[in-house]
Amino acid sequence: MTFTRVTTLLAVVASAHLTLAQELTGDGGMPPFSPVTWERLLNAADEPQNWLMYSGTFDGQRFSRLDQIDTGNVDGLKLVWAHHIPQLDRNETTPLVVDGVMFITESPSNVTAVDAATGRPYWRYEHELPDDLRVCCGRNNRGVAILDETLYMSTLDAHVVGIDARSGSLLWNTEVANYQEGYSKTAAPLIVKDKVITGIAGGEFGIRGFLDAYDAKTGTRDWRTYTIPGPDHPDNRSWAGDSWRTGGSPTWITGSYDPELNLIYWGTGNPGPDYKGDIRGGDNLYADSVLALDGDTGEMSWYFQFTPHDVHDWDAIQIPVLADIEVDGKPRKAMLWANRNAFYYTLDRETGEFLVGKSFARQTWAEGLDDNGRPIRRPGKLPTVEGTLVAPTAGGATNWWSPAFSPRTGLLYVNAFDGEANFYIRDEEYTAGDRYTGGGTDAPLPIDNYMSAIRAIEPATGDIRWEFPMEARSRAGVLATAGDVVFSGTVDGYFYALDARTGEELWHIALGGRMNASPMTYAVGGRQYVTMPSGNVVYTFALDN
Amino acid sequence: MGNWKPSHVGTLPLAMILLLGLTFWGARADAQETENPFTGPVDVRIGERLFEAQCSNCHGLAGTGNPEAGGPDLTTGRFRTASTDAGLFRVVREGIPGTSMIGIKRNSSDQAVWQVVTYLESLNPADSLDNLPGSATAGRQLFEGKGNCGRCHIVNGSGGRLGPDLSQVGERRPQTDLRSDLTDPNAEVDPRWWTLTVTQEDGSVVQGLRMHEDSFSLRLMDEQEGLRSFSKSQIRSFERDKNSTMPAYRSLTATEQDDLITYLLNLRREQ
């Protein structure tokens, strides 16, 4: 074959590829998939047609500037396509959308790329997993991160992988921790500059938590910050004896990032064993906290612990929501946090200073928060051998599913639960890689006796502006848009839209399957879409053309 | 049996080691296929202790399930994924692949696994049919005659729909619970048997048994056994009554209660 013939053939192939790409996007005039640079990630809010990271933008607001779908027309939403996931496990994914291509993670540790306008597939990457995995809470994955043309995904065997976004080919595969010691990974990583920031799960298996940064090109580890300090650090004394070695404090949901302050914010989970706290006397730092870490080195700038010496499994595994608001007449770079322990907090994200705190859901364990935001515990609420009735439940007043903040309304939207449980303790020996909880919980009444709700919280006061009640217990996150619409889902299979200012119901559709994920929105060819997983199907809606 | 391990292996010739190894694995496999060798009262207590430490986080302290953690109720006398002791052994040992259910601690002995199986079997609420307090025949006459229980309850395909189907009630309700059901029916009412009162937009009222309620709608069976469905946004209001619609049968004599309970305890699947 001559050089001329080769170049002609390449030109034909390239031309066919371009035509195919345009056709597959469902919009011949749309630019094809282009690399997602660090600059694009920094300015993700300016390209609302794309959803470039787990929470949409680095501030964790899960707010979109798209406004084609608004309070006046949302009741005209129609199903456009559905993507069926082969596995039946809980579907907790938030897809990414880049220039008309959607990336959906699937149980257990797979990812597929589809045309975002039609739902039709390009490729699927299936991660090979060992047979002897032991994970606490299902074989789930919540999403990928992207930088340039590479996707980054956590896997259940505690690896992080780099995958070519155009072809689905594996580029690198790095072991983060030994899964046989109880470590696993489920959360979407976060890109900060040229690094992949990613956490770890395993708080029910006696792990020692950490947050890692990996080189995005090579997958080699750049830094690790343990969420339980070692014996060379004074805060290690917040753990009795050697309990810090098996103290949990995992990092199993995605954090946020402030580029101006160059701080990464990340929540930490429960100390272990979950319920039997007498063997880990002390505050158990930095479990159930938010950590502010240097974006280049991972060095800790400050921490705030929501639940010192937790014995109710109230992980601070929520999305740190960053917003610039006014508190007591003073502008603040704030962090908004509705916690699993039933208290809402506003913190100063530069310093970690506690600004506002108030319960946003039913709780019986604390009189309130003191001036520093530390809970004032009520006596008689610790787990016992016989069981102690406490609100909220171990699953908490909220959990990992995303809240949303609308800069247009100034409200934080949270999926809340007013439940209660009997907490009990049991003796349990630690064995590496096995469950290590030291007790559990029982439901005193059928779940029909309790209620979930979307609550709209004013960050400057912690007051609840409105609520929208649902059957218990909803496990869906919330999306807010510039159309002043709030989207969420129910445990009984509804996807719905509320007026962001009033909480009035505007639209709902029965999809049938329980919702365990957070909705997201994007646009292709000038048409806005809204996506929500239900059961093991990913549904996408839009207005009629 | 399956917990047996060779000792002083280092002093044995290779052929003997191989033989013992085969015997060991054979014994382990056999353990999962044979009947449970650990079924005494002590085994129940040890199994309970193991269950509380390792299983109750998802299945509840009493094994009644945990809707938040997702572990199902194990006290109904029926297991979704196993119908024999050997099947239960495998589930307890290995978990259920592709689900959240993981097996017992990996270093647990076969004896420990069997003891958990024994404890799970003990959670079966069905009372023994030995030494029942009354006469099943007299109880049936009371059920079908003076008690008029069939007006609301189906037994073996015939009866009313306004109360739970009692065809296999003897498998799921022990004697004490049945006695409480008769004399104090409000003590424990499944949400399926709550009463809903719906006030429609025109002010008319519909009342019925709560067949299902979700975040946006209600479905009930009205007094004429009609199936009615309402959108919550298209009614004026609704109320839940968490009491039972069944009257308290306190006027029954002690003998009548015993007879009725004996009849109900005998309502089981055909063996």
As to burial, measured by CB atoms within 10 angstroms (0-12 exposed, 13-18 middle, 19+ buried), residue B227 is exposed
> In terms of domains, do B100 and B215 share one?
no
Q: Does the structure show a pLDDT above 60 at B26?
A: no
> In terms of domains, do B145 and B174 share one?
yes
Specify the DSSP class assigned to residue B11: G
CB contact under 8 A, A421 and B68: yes
Contact A264, A257 (CB under 8 A): yes
The letter for the amino acid at A396 is G
Within-domain flag for B13: no
Strand ranges (E), chain B: 154-155, 158-159, 195-200, 205-213, 217-222, 227-231, 235-241
Identify the pLDDT of residue A132. Answer: 85
Within-domain flag for B83: yes
A508 vs B56, B105, B216: nearest CB: B216
Closest C-alpha to B121, from B85, B95, B87: B85
**Ramachandran angles phi, psi of A163, nearest 5°:** -130, 135
Residues 6+ apart with CB under 8 A from A456: A409, A411, A412, A413, A464, A465, A466, A467, A500, A503
Instruction: Please write the tens of the pLDDT for every residue from A324-347.
Output: 999 999 999 999 999 999 999 999
Chain A residue at shortest CA distance from B103: A134
> Greater confidence, A203 or B130?
A203
**Ramachandran angles phi, psi of A20, nearest 5°:** -65, -40
CB contact under 8 A, B215 and A492: yes
Within-domain flag for B14: no
A contacts of B106 (beta carbons < 8 Å): 431, 433-434
Contact B260, B134 (CB under 8 A): yes
Averaged over successive runs of 10 residues, the pLDDT of chain A (545 residues) comes to 40 39 42 90 98 98 98 98 90 97 96 97 96 85 98 98 97 97 97 98 96 98 98 98 98 98 98 96 98 98 98 98 97 98 98 98 98 98 97 97 98 98 92 92 92 98 98 96 98 97 98 96 97 97 93
Location of structure tokens 């949302």: A74
A contacts of B214 (beta carbons < 8 Å): 471, 490, 492-494
Within-domain flag for B154: yes
Q: Pick the catalytic residue: A99, A157, A283, A313?
A: A313
A73/chain B closest Cα distance in angstroms: 18
Q: How large is the average pLDDT for residues B109-132?
A: 90
- Supply the range of the domain harboring residue B206: 191-241
Active site (annotated) includes residue A157? no
B contacts of A424 (beta carbons < 8 Å): 56, 61
For residue A299, count other CB atoms closer than 10 A to its CB: 10
- Assess: ipTM above 0.95: no
A180 Cβ under 8 Å from any chain B Cβ: no
CB contact under 8 A, A435 and B54: yes
CB contact under 8 A, A137 and B100: yes
Q: Tell me: cis bond preceding A273? Omega within 30 of 0 counts.
A: yes
Within-domain flag for B21: no
Within-domain flag for B22: no
> In terms of domains, do B224 and B251 share one?
no
> In terms of domains, do B106 and B61 share one?
yes
Location of structure tokens 């933008």: A57
> In terms of domains, do B142 and B113 share one?
no
Location of structure tokens 């938590």: A209
- How many residues appear in chain B? 271
Q: Does the structure show a pLDDT above 80 at B32?
A: no
Identify the pLDDT of residue B62. Answer: 86
> In terms of domains, do B67 and B111 share one?
yes
A311 Cβ under 8 Å from any chain B Cβ: no
Closest C-alpha to A141, from A544, A449, A538, A527: A538
CB contact under 8 A, B99 and A89: yes
Closest C-alpha to B32, from B74, B2, B77: B2
> In terms of domains, do B157 and B61 share one?
no
The letter for the amino acid at A538 is V
CB contact under 8 A, B100 and A442: no
What's the Cα-to-Cα distance from B77 to each of A179, A496, B80, B270, rounded to whole Å? 35, 39, 10, 15
Question: What's the angle, vertex CA B55, arms to CA A383 and CA B106, rounded to 5?
Answer: 125
CB contact under 8 A, B191 and A508: no
A448/chain B closest Cα distance in angstroms: 7
Q: In what order do the strands lie in the sheet with A421-425?
A: A388-390, A421-425, A439-442
Residue B211 sits in a domain whose CATH number is: 2.30.30.100
Specify the DSSP class assigned to residue B71: B
Instruction: Please write the tens of the pLDDT for every residue from A390-448.
Output: 999 999 999 999 999 999 999 999 999 999 999 999 988 899 999 899 999 998 999 99
A contacts of B242 (beta carbons < 8 Å): 449
A contacts of B233 (beta carbons < 8 Å): 505
The total of structural domains in chain B comes to: 3
CB contact under 8 A, A448 and B191: yes
B80/chain A closest Cα distance in angstroms: 16
A45/chain B closest Cα distance in angstroms: 33
What's the Cα-to-Cα distance from B108 to each of A216, B8, B29, B112, B256, rounded to whole Å? 42, 22, 15, 6, 50
Closest C-alpha to A543, from A15, A197, A69: A69
Task: Return the number of CB contacts < 8 Å for A and B.
Answer: 108
What would the two tokens of residue A464 be?
């609840």
Within-domain flag for B150: yes
> Range with the lowest mean pLDDT among B6-15, B163-172, B195-204?
B6-15
Give the rounded distance of the alpha carbon of A434 from its chain centre.
Answer: 25
What would the two tokens of residue B111 be?
């004896």
Sort strands A63-64 and A479-481 into parallel, antiparallel or unpaired. Answer: parallel
What's the CA gap between A16 and B74, in Å, rounded?
A: 59
Which of A106, A415, A424, A441 should one mutate to test binding to chain B, selecting the residue with the greatest count of B CBs within 10 A? A441
| pTM summary value | 0.89
B105 vs A427, A434, A494: nearest CB: A434
For residue A403, count other CB atoms closer than 10 A to its CB: 29
> In terms of domains, do B40 and B113 share one?
yes
A427 vs B53, B100, B233: nearest CB: B53
Chain B residue at shortest CA distance from A426: B53
Burial A93-104 (b: 16+ CB within 10 A, else e): bbbbbbbbbbbb
For residue A82, count other CB atoms closer than 10 A to its CB: 12
R_g (Cα) of chain B, nearest Å = 25
What would the two tokens of residue A178 be?
């030994």
Contact A139, A124 (CB under 8 A): no
Q: At what angle do helices B254-265 and B175-183 cross, to 10 degrees?
A: 130
A308/chain B closest Cα distance in angstroms: 22
Within-domain flag for B47: yes
A contacts of B107 (beta carbons < 8 Å): 431, 434
Contact A365, A381 (CB under 8 A): yes
Report the SS3 class of residue A234.
helix
B19/chain A closest Cα distance in angstroms: 28
Instruction: Please write the tens of the pLDDT for every residue from B181-224.
Output: 999 999 989 999 999 999 999 999 999 999 999 999 999 999 88
Residue B261 sits in a domain whose CATH number is: 1.10.760.10
B213 vs A419, A440, A471: nearest CB: A471
B61 vs A204, A387, A446: nearest CB: A387
A130 Cβ under 8 Å from any chain B Cβ: no
**Ramachandran angles phi, psi of A303, nearest 5°:** -140, 160
A446 vs B66, B106, B191: nearest CB: B191
R_g (Cα) of chain A, nearest Å = 23
B57 vs A435, A447, A449: nearest CB: A435
Q: In the beta sheet, which residues pair with residue A98? A: A101
B157/chain A closest Cα distance in angstroms: 28
> In terms of domains, do B170 and B207 share one?
no
> In terms of domains, do B141 and B224 share one?
no
Contact A130, A149 (CB under 8 A): no
What's the CA gap between A481 and A62, in Å, rounded?
A: 8
> In terms of domains, do B208 and B146 share one?
no
Identify the pLDDT of residue B33. Answer: 57
The letter for the amino acid at A436 is Y
CB contact under 8 A, A441 and B68: yes
> In terms of domains, do B60 and B90 share one?
yes
Residues 6+ apart with CB under 8 A from B186: B243, B244, B248
